[in-house]
Amino acid sequence: MTFRIQKNSRERVAELRRLLNDFNYQYYVLDAPTVPDAEYDHLFRELQGLEEKHPELRAPDSPTQRVGGQPAREFAPVRHRVPMQSLNNCFSEEELHEFDRRVREGLRRERITYVAEPKLDGLAVALIYEDGVLTRGATRGDGETGEDITENLRTLRAIPLRLREDCPPKWIDVRGEVYMSRAGFEALNRAQEKAGGKPFVNPRNAAAGGLRQLDPTVTAQRPLSFCAYAIAGSEGWRSPVAHTGILEQLRRWGFPVSAYAEAVEGIVGCLAYYRKTAERRVTLPFEIDGIVYKLNDLSGREELGSVARAPRWAIAHKFPAEEALTVLEAVEFQVGRTGILTPVARLNPVFVGGANVSSATLHNMDEIERKDVRIGDTIVVRRAGDVIPEVVRVVVERRPKTARQVVLPEKCPVCGGTVVREEGEVAARCTAGLTCRAQLRGALLHFASRRAMDIEGLGDKLVRQLLDLKRVNSPADLFKLELKTLAELERMGEKSAANVIAAIEKSKTTTLARFIYALGIPNIGETTSAQLALHFGELDVLIAATESDAKTVEDPELKDKDRFPKLRKVQDVGPEVAASLCRFFTEPRNREVLQELQRCGVHWPKAESRKKDGPLAGKSFVLTGTLPGMTREEVARLIESQGGIISSSVSSKTDYVLAGTDAGSKLAKAEKLGVVVIDLMGLKKMMGVE
């Protein structure tokens, strides 16, 4: 879409202004851009060039004037022709009922229509337009006198420099809110941190600070937005009879207005809107702190008037505070089902987000260190809706001399197992996976799963009962269960119990690969378990290798590439996987469970060594997609029986990718790396099988 019509300079400047203002309106108000950014930039530069060549053609409503003028020494005071009133607040349904009663009695009506809209958490401004052109913008100030921030407001593309109206009012005062979206706030803070600056506390502070910059070019760099919500006064314009008409007129003039504003009937409609908005509050693209209800009938507003500095016809129904100050009394560590330790703040109870909060998440040790959280600190805690409360920041100025550092425990608070936090890792983890009660439910379900020990009938409900009754404290205890014990459990019965006992007995005969996978070692999947079984052949040999390699972690003489020398000889085993193996097999509690499992009769035949002279010897394969007539497991066993190596991920070291139908990202990566792609027929040809 190109606009390069040869005309005289005056006509071309007028055309460019019209086009660029239209594009701004479509982009920032309608959220429906019609031209690429490159075309907009081209036209903008053309207009700049013409205005520089012909200064007499430059005008206040030109899009080029948004970039900001000279820095101001200070903001000049501005007296509002129509005072900028504040709104009275209510915090409960009872107070809202009382407001509605006063409105109905004041107007002597039974049915009242209100307009409800989210209360943006930003900075209120007044925009003055004369003959359709923006001539002044000011802050609220004390309501009577504000500060002239016209040059800064010009930089906001959502604010029209000229009304979209052929016959605009002689004078009009538009009121609205300057705010910052959540996405804009996050982007701004990322840029601040990258530049070594201090991040902003919240979007409102960032918006207010951006709007009150003495240098408009700084304001222009802030991701500020605007929403118009009222017309405070006018000359040469006939007002609609209802507030909904005001919003529609503002939209026609080119202002963004709230897409969430609704006309509601009476107190019932107000409360329904409040509850609906409270539920979706955390998903909104901007922060709000309540709902504003305004009488829709403008003549009724005149009749009700104002009291002090607030109108009688409007009220702000505030949400419960999302942030509050309290004292961090202690930090405890909870252990998740995968063994990860999560620090939890124990707080002096405080009412926030509509609930009493006595604990909040601290996420991990990195977050504690980044926020410099200490026990005894006064902290800001945040709770929005059903979101888990979190510690936002520390009020360092209130830090007592007795404040203590948070220390990661060396032993698991649940089972006493060793806690490890590898260098560079965010999470700290309890290594006693098979005996730690916090991890036991997940460990048992994984242990019994179809691809692991395949204990049919041992599902989540049964595992929960066994744990609640303390019948099982490790996977080894599954093999000690008696028929009578299971039959007495809820919803079991003797027949169901007998089936589970039979499945447990059957699972005692397994393979080394399945057994390794069943242990639930972090980072060890089916493919890696199979590689370990093939490489080491026996569990004792694998354990001995981990014992030997574990010593290399503490050897300062070794470089990274020299650590875990025995384990890293195995296909797909890198430093992270090797570290997981070492942590698991060198944990005494895990070793005790392994021995107990074998004493209970769990056994497997010696794993077959990979053929060294087969047609696929030494070649690595990655399987992807659906293979005709065979499962992936069957194809993998076939490849391994002929000396091939199964890998779980595609890399430059992969020899072949065996692709079936509906192959995904692995196929795309193979093609990108130039790895040979074959199908099942191609594999059989390589093996000499027709």
| Active site residue ranges | 119
Q: Is 491 helix (H, G, I), strand (E, B) or coil?
A: coil
- Tokens at 613, concatenated: 């002279």
The Cα–Cα gap between 59 and 132 comes to 13
Q: What are the Cα distances from residue 542, in Å, to 219, 518, 585?
A: 63, 15, 9
Pairing of strands 89-90, 314-318: parallel
Contacts of 519 (CB under 8 A, 6+ apart): 433, 434, 447, 584, 590, 594
The Cα–Cα gap between 211 and 158 comes to 14
- Please return the burial class of 558, using the count of CB atoms within 10 Å of its CB with bins 0-12, 13-18 and 19+: middle
For 304-385, where are the E strands, in sequence order? Answer: 306-307, 310-311, 314-318, 323-335, 340-352, 355-361, 374-375, 378-382
Check if the beta carbon of residue 290 is closer than 8 Å to that of residue 318: yes
Phi, psi (deg, nearest 5) at residue 232:
-85, -25
Q: What are the Cα distances from residue 544, in Å, to 207, 215, 420, 540?
A: 61, 68, 21, 6
DSSP 423: T
- Tokens at 319, concatenated: 């949400």
The Cα–Cα gap between 276 and 165 comes to 36
The Cα–Cα gap between 122 and 120 comes to 6
The Cα–Cα gap between 254 and 53 comes to 30
Pairing of strands 355-361, 656-659: unpaired
